[in-house]
A and B are shown apart, each in its own frame.
Chain A
């Protein structure tokens, strides 16, 4: 698919603080891409450079093949859904949504039609004359989305738009946003620190830390094959165990040797192994990795079980309960062993 945005060597610092370190990234047309990372990782700054609110110190951004760097925000075919919505409190729902259309000097009946259409899309039919202050958080969120997408931008930027909503509403909105993106055919760049959001909605996830991109991939790639310890621990819970790659498809950790699916390492290279909590099964102690159950917490769908293996704690998610003090063996398939370079 065609590249809509190309970011090349983008750097940005505030005072002495380097928040973006030579970022290279491209975004394809109609892609739902998520910038994921902890606060301070530079994801919001990157978004603001795309919107035109920040000017990069170095590097360039190509939009549809043309340089975007000197284009002021109001002349970009890009719209933003702001973190706290930034709805205009002096305007009602209709005039908030019509703000961009009026600036384009569209005829009144055209504006009426487009506003009606987009209100239907965000499920707020009949809300035209409502005051912004009388809307709930979820409704304000929808108005903010409507106000942006009504302008039919080529690129929609979303800056943690779901952060202020409660859990249930957030989950509903995740599906709706994904559906909307597919229906509208607009490229979405979504910024979040919530890994679940990122995995649920995205075509592509970009994991960032300290102004650098650590890994780019599909949600499955990022989850199943984290390249670094940080990605593994940031995306879901994981057990990270130091080990040695003996040769291709053979790994050693916890003093034992296992078959695995990874290759391409040096002989006896020191590595780290990721075992996801839900990939480990507990059996009555026989051989393999053996430990003692030290804690069990009911989490609703599953139990979180803590097993002590020679002083190291493993987290295991299982639908079967265990008794504290029981001796257990940790059992897993070779596909569940994810090997990371140090």
Chain B
């Protein structure tokens, strides 16, 4: 073990420098006048926390939950049947289905966002098919793009639990007098709860903190938490940007604790 431990050091250094240290800065910047360009006037203050009452923040916070929430809900209702179908199909087809899910994720997310941006503009390649949209800045455009980005993250964890589930359990349920529908709600659904929680969180979190997607497809008019952080940094309000980041960190940690609670073996975390 000791010889392996040495090989872990590069990652630990990376983790320390790029995650732990910046996190400490964020916390410091939230609760003090600390500023990387102005380190002499250091004193503790809760001044920047006042921003959490600002309509700008409240709007961004609400937008993040709104778009992420709707995206998650839609992803769940589209994703669960897909995951179920994949998990119950023949083994040789499973590889194909999993590839169909993974390969699109491999292409850069920014590229896919720009593709959607183009499609949603009145003049785009889809004019060739006699179609034309003017959806930039609309809720529907953001949600369609978000669903297409994050759907695989909903499908995978649910597929993972359903795939491992012993089909004999369904037979046992049928055998004991439950119809196919009853078996689904009494056995399959409760047993896939861990996968559902992981899928919801893995969709909700990135959607909430999405930055490039609302920027491009929102046409600059729809502000989510990620966009707010960026704007505040460019305005030079580091402590306000840090405060918003701090809120995002807390939400992430909270949701992560939820996954751990529902999925003790970690089988759904890819």
Contacts and interface: CB of A to CB of B under 8 A. Distances in A.
A87 B176 CA distance: 12
Contact of A86 (B171, B182, B186, B190): B171
Interface string A250-264: 000000000000000
> Chain B contact residues (Cβ within 8 angstroms of A): what range?
10 to 19
B171 A73 contact: yes
Interface string A89-101: 1100000000110
B52 interface: no
A80 interface: yes
Give the contact-size bracket for chain A: 20 to 34
A103 B177 contact: yes
Contacts of A87: 172
11 contacts: A53-B171, A53-B174, A74-B174, A74-B182, A78-B175, A88-B191, A99-B173, A99-B186, A103-B177, A148-B175, A151-B176
A80 B172 contact: yes
Nearest to A90: B190
Nearest to A83: B168
B89 interface: no
A20 interface: no
Interface string B128-147: 00000000000000000000
A90 B191 contact: yes
Given A53-B171, A88-B169, A88-B172, A151 B177 contact: yes
B175 A80 contact: yes
B179 A74 contact: yes
A90 B171 CA distance: 16
A290 to B, nearest CB: 56
Contacts of B171: 51, 53, 73, 80, 82, 86
Contacts of B255: none
Contact of A103 (B169, B178, B191): B178
Contacts of B54: none
Given A86-B166, A88-B187, A90-B191, A79 B176 contact: yes
Contacts of B179: 72, 74
A147 interface: yes
Nearest to A77: B177
A104 interface: yes
A316 to B, nearest CB: 44
6 cross-chain pairs, A with B, having the tightest CB-CB distances, nearest first? A100-B176, A86-B168, A86-B172, A73-B174, A103-B177, A80-B175
A21 interface: no
A5 to B, nearest CB: 16
Interface in B230-246: none
Interface of B: 166, 168-169, 171-179, 182, 186-187, 190-191
Main secondary structure of the interface of B (DSSP, over half): helix
Given A74-B179, A80-B172, A86-B168, 4 more contacts: A78-B175, A86-B166, A88-B172, A88-B173
- Which has the most chain A C-beta neighbours within 10 Å: B172, B174, B178? B172
B172 A74 contact: no
A86 B167 CA distance: 9
Contacts of A103: 176-178, 182
A84 interface: yes
A89 B191 contact: yes
A103 B174 CA distance: 11
Interface in A75-130: 75, 78-80, 82-84, 86-90, 99-100, 103-104
Given A89-B191, A90-B190, A103-B182, A74 B168 contact: no
Contact of B175 (A51, A83, A90): A51
Contact of A100 (B169, B177, B187, B190): B177
Contacts of B166: 84, 86
Given A84-B166, A86-B166, A86-B168, A99 B191 contact: no
Nearest to B177: A103
A74 B169 contact: no
B165 to A, nearest CB: 9
A150 to B, nearest CB: 9
A80 B174 CA distance: 10
Identify the interface centre among A72, A83, A90: most chain B CB within 10 Å of its CB. A90
A51 B177 CA distance: 11
Contacts of A75: 177
Nearest to A48: B171
A84 B177 contact: no
A148 B175 CA distance: 9
A293 to B, nearest CB: 50
B191 A82 contact: no
B168 A99 contact: no
Contacts of A84: 166, 168
Contacts of A90: 187, 190-191
